[in-house]
């Protein structure tokens, strides 16, 4: 039997605390070599693309494998549709039997936000209080939610090329978190003087300049998730301790991909993976002055770990509908 969970049912069992725990388990498994994860495959289309992500993970008390089928269609909001939508299938590795079929759209948002929060926990200064955001879409919301769980943020400054996006974001965040939040008109205003900077745009040209980034800043580079995408000036990467989620994916489609292709950055300049840091194999931030960058491409193991946690919670709460697809 497979438990079918719609988006609204997933949300009844999903929160950022659950996501942070699940995603940390996933990255620790990665750092300890308890995953089997081929790089994601891309199907490029005229108006967007699909990604097939699949893998296997050994968690503390579970062993699962699965698949996520996820799209990115940047023009969708103009038609009243989400840019990113996903489906996640969870299987028993020993038999291949499917045991869960979940809407993965919200899980994708939360696991990506949780990865940014996890990176901030290990790489941002402990006293980081000012958060700058370049981009005000769905990913920005979960990034902010996760980072506020791990650092004492007192102010958020948000830039989006559309003030119609950044202003509502600022109003919602201020009401939700009870802190100062303001929308600004330039990316520079969202970067200069910030302790943590998050970029969540589909840009193919750098939006953040090196001279804007202060010593001690941590950057979550989230938006680059396909070849040719780039949000940070190459000089930021060469000045920073760069941590990737996965070298194979980051080198192909992460923030470092363009700088690697142009010869502005090399594999030897990558400090390591977030999994290595979470597993205790490498230290995270070591000084208050260093600049750190987390290059996040999104890993299937994040989806599997969080999808399983949502599945378990749904079982406990009697959510979803069981189906036998073999009959």
Supply 169's token pair.
């974001």
End-to-end, the C-alpha distance of the chain in Å comes to 10
Supply 206's token pair.
């750098």
Indicate the helix (H) or strand (E) that contains 2: strand 2-5
Given the residues 40, 68, 149, 229, select the one marked as catalytic.
68
Q: What is the 3-state secondary structure (H, E, C) of 257-308?
A: HHHHHCCCCCHHHEEEEHHHHHCCCCCCCCCCCCCEEEECCCCHHHHHHHHH
How many Cβ atoms are within 10 Å of 222's Cβ, its own excluded? Answer: 29
Instruction: Examine the residue annotation and report whether 327 is marked as an active-site residue of this protein.
Output: no
Phi first, then psi: what are they for 288, rounded to 5°?
-80, -10
Indicate the helix (H) or strand (E) that contains 144: helix 138-150
Q: Which of 105, 94, 44 is nearest to 310 (CA)?
A: 105
Pairwise CA distance, residues 8 & 320, whole Å? 10
Active site residues: 68
């Amino acid at each position: 039997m497979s438990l079918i969970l719609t988006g609204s049912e997933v949300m009844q069992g999903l929160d950022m605390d659950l996501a942070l725990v699940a995603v940390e388990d996933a990255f620790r498994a990665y750092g300890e070599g308890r995953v089997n994860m081929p790089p994601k495959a891309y199907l490029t289309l005229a108006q967007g693309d699909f990604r097939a992500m699949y893998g296997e993970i050994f968690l503390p008390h579970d062993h699962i494998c699965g698949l996520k089928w996820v799209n990115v269609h940047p023009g969708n909001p103009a038609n009243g549709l989400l840019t990113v939508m996903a489906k996640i299938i969870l299987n028993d590795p020993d038999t291949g039997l499917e045991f869960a079929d979940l809407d993965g759209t919200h899980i994708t948002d939360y696991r990506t936000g949780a990865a940014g929060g996890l990176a901030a926990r290990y790489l941002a200064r402990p006293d980081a209080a000012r958060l700058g955001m370049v981009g005000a879409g769905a990913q920005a919301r979960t990034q902010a939610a996760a980072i506020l769980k791990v650092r004492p943020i007192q102010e958020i400054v948000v830039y989006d090329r559309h003030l119609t996006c950044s202003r509502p974001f600022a109003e919602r965040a201020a009401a939700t978190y009870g802190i100062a939040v303001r929308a600004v008109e330039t990316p520079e205003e969202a970067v200069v003087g910030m302790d943590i900077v998050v970029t969540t745009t589909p840009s193919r040209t750098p939006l953040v300049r090196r001279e804007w980034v202060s010593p001690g800043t941590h950057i979550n580079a989230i938006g680059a998730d396909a070849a040719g995408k780039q949000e940070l000036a190459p000089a930021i990467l060469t000045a920073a301790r760069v941590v990737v989620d996965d070298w194979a994916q980051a080198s192909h489609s992460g923030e470092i991909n363009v700088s690697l292709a142009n010869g502005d950055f090399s594999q030897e300049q990558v400090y390591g993976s977030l999994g290595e840091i979470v597993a205790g194999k490498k230290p995270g931030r070591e000084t208050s002055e260093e600049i750190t960058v987390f290059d996040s491409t999104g890993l299937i193991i994040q989806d599997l770990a969080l999808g399983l946690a949502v599945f378990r919670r749904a079982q406990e709460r009697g959510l979803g509908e069981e189906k036998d697809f073999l009959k």
